[in-house]
Structure 1
Amino acid sequence: MNGTTSEDIGATVLDVVSDVLGRSPEDLRDQPVLAAHDWDSIASLEALAQLESGFGIRLELRDFHAARTVGDMTALVAAALGH
């Protein structure tokens, strides 16, 4: 899961979120706002755990919960990786 380019990071984040939500990546591309899907605290924590484990990073919980879209989440992961 350790994508190194921004494109790889975005694809991996999209895959994790789509898996957690049981939605297709296309659904999330069409409607990237997480609240429009079944995004709740359990889904959020599951995605956080998968992203931290997969990328070998730690994300600030407050910043992670402030992410409203897949793009916001991708930016957080990229920043934690130094991209």
Structure 2
Amino acid sequence: MTRRRTILELLDAALGAVDPRAAVARAIDRDGETVIVAGETYRPKGRIVLLALGKAAATMAEGAAEALAGIPLTGVVAGPA
């Protein structure tokens, strides 16, 4: 493997690690109807309320929505105009 290729692969891995969408999706796990967020276990009895604020709010909300697919969601997503 060339040095250039190694550097590009490292850069790609670093950018993937800080991707807000991927980071939120990784932090949420599912086991049937059980939702596990950062090690805490929840059994939602209805919809989940999602609150995402800041510059990365939209992409973070997308990651949560992907991880929580099939569970009704509601909430607020607010980022800079």
Fold shared, TM-score > 0.5 on shorter chain: no
Q: Which has the higher helix share?
A: 1
Q: Which has the higher strand share?
A: 2
Q: Which has the larger radius of gyration?
A: 2
Specify which structure has the bigger relative contact order, considering alpha-carbon pairs within 8 angstroms and separated by 6 or more residues: 1
TM-score (norm 1): 0.28
